[in-house]
Amino acid sequence: IGYGDKVPQTWMGKIVASCFAVFAISFFALPAGILGSGFALKVQQKQRQKHFNRQIPAAATLIQCLWRCHASDPHSKSEATWRIHVHDPSNEETVFARM
C-alpha cells in the first residue's frame, strides 16, 4: 500500500491490507461528503437571503404607499402627524378675518 515499495506477501496480509484500505477510504470520504453538503447548504442559504433582501424594499414601499393612501383619505380616523401641515384654503379666510 502506498508507493508499492512494500507490499503484503501472504494471502492473510493481502486481505488485511485490502480491508484496511476500504476502511480508510470510507473513513476519509465521509467527512469530505459532510463538508461538501455543508458548503452546498451555505451557498443555498446565501442565495435565499439575497433573494429575501431584494424583496424587503419592495414590500416596505408597498406598505408605505398603502398607509399614505389610507391616511390621506378624508374619512380616515388616523392621527397622522403630517396632517396638521395640510393646507386648507377655506380655513385661511377665517384666520385672516379674526386678525
Percent of the chain surpassing pLDDT 70:
76
- Of 17 and 84, the structure prediction assigns the larger pLDDT to 17
The whole-model pTM stands at 0.41
| Residue 80 pLDDT exceeds 80 | no
Query: What gap in Å lies between CA 88 and CA 99, rounded to an integer?
Result: 18
* pLDDT digit string, tens, across residues 39-74: 999 999 999 998 888 888 888 889 988 888 877 777
C-alpha to C-alpha distances, 70 to 10, 77, 88, nearest whole angstrom: 89, 9, 19
pLDDT confidence bin for 23, thresholds 50/70/90 = very high
Using CA of residue 52, residue 53, residue 59, residue 60, what is the dihedral sign?
positive
Q: What is the pLDDT of residue 2?
A: 64
Query: What gap in Å lies between CA 17 and CA 12, rounded to an integer?
Result: 9
Query: What gap in Å lies between CA 31 and CA 10, rounded to an integer?
Result: 33
Domain boundaries, the chain: 11-98
Query: What gap in Å lies between CA 96 and CA 18, rounded to an integer?
Result: 104
Q: What is the pLDDT of residue 59?
A: 86
Q: What is the pLDDT of residue 91?
A: 59
